[in-house]
Chains A and B, each alone.
Chain A
Amino acid sequence: MPWHRRHLITLEELSLDEIEQVHATAVAFKRTLKRTVKKVPALRGKTIVNLFLEPSTRTRMAFEMAAKRLSADVIGFDAANSSTTKGETLRDTAQNIQALQADMIVLRHSAAGSPLYLSRILNIPVINAGDGAHEHPSQGLLDTFTMKEHLGSLRGRKVVILGDILFSRVARSNIHALTKMGANVTLVGPSTLVPHWFTHLGVKVSHDLKSALADAEVVMLLRIQHERQAAGLFPSLSEYTSMFGLNKTRASWLNPKAIIMHPGPINRGVEIDSELADGARSVILEQVTNGIAVRMAVLYLCAGGQPENVTPVE
């Protein structure tokens, strides 16, 4: 099946075939990142607007890097200095960007559902770079891409996602991708941050770290935010660390070949010990690098490219 999507809004709506197409395209682009001249001309003459209405470092830089590697022009949009602070609506902001002849919008927004909303208004592709606690599809694609690099097929593999699942768009996108790819997913964390509703998404929910980590081949940690404690969702960061923080002892419960992942930004000493974050099993920085290749694939495909046409210029 050829790639037909113009927008990337969720992984929930993507088929397994589409996820694999993105991964295959990313494999080709990843090769180009190793060369001295890292640019390919795929999106030459196109302009991509990074409409980031919520703070972001990694995702924004990775999307910008990806667009530039594809030879697109990139315009960044700083929420703090924009007309949104003067009360302009999202609709008007986006329509202005379209009227400026942008070819694609990459949207980061605090409100779940806003990329879908924009995709229904605009004629140009909308790429979701994270919408509230809903989805972060490019992150889910790069995480599963990274897992595949280490484990091969994910079918039947035990993947644990540990931390603040309730408010995590990263968790949701990974859940959708991983369940489609056949992985056995277990969510772990305090019961207030990992509600039982998630079982309806085809995953297990556990509050017992030891049994959850036992023989897992992937553990993905999520950032624990201080503001959740302020909202009364758990007693303290130190209690969290003592109950659910990943340390050397707990990491020994994992499968010996297990990889440790984190979408960043990490809280050293809270959800993960520094020793593990920097250790041999950690693939945290590989995730960042893969984020460029996967986002190149996403931008390229949604701009109308086809997986088989990726022909790196030597």
Chain B
Amino acid sequence: MSSLWIRNARVIDPAARRDDAGDIFIENGKFVPTLSTAARKRARQIDARGLVACPGLVDVHVHFREPGQTHKESIATGSRAAAAGGFTTVVCMPNTTPVADNAGTIQYMKDVITRDAVVKVFPTGCITVGMKGQALAPIGSLKRAGVVAITDDGDCVQSNDLMRRAVEYAKMFELPVMDHCQDQSMTQGAVMNEGVMSTRLGLRGWPNAAEDLIVARNVILSEYTGAHIHLQHISSRFSVDVIRRAKARKARITAEATPHHIALTDDALGTYDTNFKMNPPLRTEEDRRSLIEGLRDGTIDIIATDHAPHNESEKDREFDFAPNGILGLETALAVTLEILVRQNKFKLPKVIDLMTRRPAKLINLAAGTLAPGAAADVCLFDPDETWKYDAKSGESKSSNSPWHGKTLTGRVKTTIVNGRVVFDGRRIVV
């Protein structure tokens, strides 16, 4: 019997409304209320004085690029980046090559996950065949193969009728439908937020209205069908307002915000640095503030990273030609603590909740808790340690991060999955 005894931590478990100084006991991969004196003697001990111990972080929005784009990332390297960032459960988007629109591809991913992943990795499947937005993918087979949600992330379903049928059909399996909200007819050639900065820089603008329209569409379809629609990486203040009003009517709508959208604005694009290029784009200070207020009042349910690796030769290009997306897993906790806790006075347990219990609940996963009997997934972090982030020496295969070379505050010291230490604060140890 293997035992682990985490001593003298500040234990934060939002699921149990716990925030106190104490110990965490783990036996055979599960949390236990306590360990016997004999077991304590045998147990591996971790001195967590000065550290926060919370459930392993949960991210419902990552791109691990496998199969097919493993020059950017793989399930192995992506899961290592997750572990280094304190994440123990992540959900992969299906825009791989080939796309995950059939049970066979999902089975392949699951085999690779079993073989390579150091944290818990769950696949999603496509809404439509080939992610082309024309015909429904075999959603039932995908569910049976193990997807936790369906999404055409990156390629928002444009047909309102097809989206209606998709959510209606997925509701039969209580499968969340995640949508990247973008009216593509309004964003042809767009590479950044439309506004003062795009006007100055001469770059093609992506108006927030293109997001707001689809957010409103999804609210309407969710209320019409009763299906759960999850709105990915909300970036616009108008969208926050639409969601807030939908929630007041008890619509089955959930929403996420990324660390980069709450930390940065399109002011950062003045030097055409492609590590600030993502979709949806960074928006204005007003939008950023609205996202933070949305997280504060529950309009936005969770933090998700949209970890999107691209290798250097792909990003090292003219701004128009570089792909969208930035890394997120290894900086998410530090950035979120900086913005929400230090700058906006969120209580730490609230922020932990946004990154553990709530995202787990959103996709019906038994994670994000320190409750006895639950799988022992833990993140230990020092909320005050400052460190310099070097994306090139990180665990991800790529290094496309706007925080490369920046000093961050808040550092993951240990990540535990099923009672096993997988990251010890310096390296992956499996």
Contacts and interface: CB of A to CB of B under 8 A. Distances in A.
Interface of A: 12, 89-91, 109-114, 116-117, 131-135, 166, 169, 172, 195, 197-198, 200-201, 231
A166 B201 CA distance: 11
Given A112-B272, A116-B271, A197-B195, A134 B318 contact: no
Nearest to B320: A111
B200 interface: yes
A99 to B, nearest CB: 18
A169 B271 contact: no
B199 A113 contact: no
A111 to B, nearest CB: 4
A116 B203 contact: no
Contacts of B202: 112, 131-135, 169, 172
Contacts of A200: 196, 199-200
Please list the 6 inter-chain residue pairs (A to B) with the smallest Cβ-Cβ separation, ordered nearest first.
Answer: A134-B202, A113-B272, A111-B318, A133-B202, A197-B199, A112-B202
Given A112-B272, A116-B271, A200-B196, A134 B201 contact: yes
Contacts, number: 60
Nearest to B317: A89
Contacts of A169: 202
B296 to A, nearest CB: 29
Contacts of A166: 199
14 contacts: A12-B200, A90-B317, A109-B318, A111-B319, A111-B321, A112-B201, A112-B202, A113-B271, A114-B318, A131-B202, A132-B320, A133-B203, A135-B202, A172-B200
A91 B201 CA distance: 21
Interface in B182-204: 188, 195-196, 198-204
A117 B318 contact: yes
Contacts of B272: 112-113, 116-117
A109 B321 CA distance: 12
Interface of B: 188, 195-196, 198-204, 271-272, 313, 316-321
B196 A113 contact: no
Given A90-B317, A111-B320, A132-B202, 5 more contacts: A112-B202, A113-B203, A113-B318, A114-B318, A200-B196
Contacts of A198: 199
Contacts of B188: 231
Contacts of A231: 188
A136 B313 CA distance: 28
B199 A112 contact: no
Contacts of B319: 111-114, 117
Contact of A113 (B195, B201, B313, B316): B201
A110 B318 CA distance: 10
Contacts of B317: 89-91
A231 B198 CA distance: 19
A112 B196 contact: no
Contacts of A111: 318-321
Contacts of A132: 202-203, 320
Nearest to A198: B199
Nearest to A136: B202
A197 B205 CA distance: 12
A148 to B, nearest CB: 25
Contact of A112 (B195, B203, B313, B316): B203
Given A112-B272, A116-B271, A90 B199 contact: no
Contacts of B199: 166, 195, 197-198, 200-201
B413 to A, nearest CB: 37
Nearest to B313: A89
Given A89-B317, A110-B320, A112-B320, A201 B271 contact: no
A166 B189 CA distance: 14
Contacts of A112: 201-203, 272, 319-320
B40 to A, nearest CB: 58
A310 to B, nearest CB: 32
Nearest to B189: A231
- Listed residue (B203, B272, B313) with the most chain A CB atoms within 10 angstroms of its CB: B272
A149 B410 CA distance: 61
A200 B198 CA distance: 12
Contacts of B320: 110-112, 132
Nearest to A132: B202
Given A90-B317, A112-B319, A113-B319, A197 B196 contact: yes
A195 B313 CA distance: 35
B206 to A, nearest CB: 14
